[in-house]
């Protein structure tokens, strides 16, 4: 059997333990990391361990979009405070990483871990100049 089977088993053990969640919670919202946490998923999305490739961990808050309540003299019948955005959280995370690292392209993203307040994603980014124009 291939080595990725054993790597995937180790990843499952990491996610059952809460140490990853505890370490991720204290980090900033957007952070560049050296290695992907889920190596098998990153390799399937096109990650290579060479110059020009980067992994960015992004935190996205859970919940729906909340509009401010109108505080005028009258209350409209259609107040509409809460909306479900049509964009999923993965796309939001990719957009935030793209905004911070403007010279890099997004190859893909995958879900990492969640708690009651946030979802974390890891985004694979590639510098077109250093990694080659393929």
Q: What is the pLDDT of residue 90?
A: 94
Kindly state whether residue 15 falls inside one of the protein's structural domains.
no
- Domains contained in the chain, number: 1
pLDDT digit string (tens) for 63-94?
767 766 767 666 666 666 666 677 889 999 99
Q: What's the predicted TM-score (pTM) here?
A: 0.80
What range does the domain containing 46 cover?
A: 25-67+77-131
Kindly state whether residue 12 falls inside one of the protein's structural domains.
no
* Mean pLDDT confidence for 47-75: 83
Kindly state whether residue 92 falls inside one of the protein's structural domains.
yes
Kindly state whether residue 63 falls inside one of the protein's structural domains.
yes
CATH at 106: 3.40.1120.10
Kindly state whether residue 111 falls inside one of the protein's structural domains.
yes
Collapsing DSSP states into helix, strand and coil, what is residue 109? strand
Residues whose CB is less than 8 angstroms from the CB of residue 123 and which lie 6 or more positions away in sequence, other chains included: 55, 56, 57, 58, 93, 94, 97, 106, 108, 109
Kindly state whether residue 7 falls inside one of the protein's structural domains.
no
């Amino acid at each position: 059997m291939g080595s990725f089977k054993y790597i995937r088993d180790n990843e499952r053990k990491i996610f059952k333990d809460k140490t990853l969640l505890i370490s991720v919670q204290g980090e900033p919202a957007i952070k560049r990391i050296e290695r992907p946490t889920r190596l098998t998923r990153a390799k399937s999305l096109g990650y290579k361990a060479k110059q020009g490739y980067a992994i960015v961990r992004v935190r996205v808050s859970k919940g729906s979009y909340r509009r401010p309540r109108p505080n005028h003299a009258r209350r409209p019948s259609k107040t509409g405070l809460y909306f479900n955005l049509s964009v999923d959280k993965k796309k939001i995370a990719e957009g935030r990483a793209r905004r911070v690292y403007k010279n890099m392209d997004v190859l893909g993203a995958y879900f990492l871990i969640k708690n009651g307040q946030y979802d974390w994603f890891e985004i694979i980014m590639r510098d077109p100049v250093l990694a080659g124009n393929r």
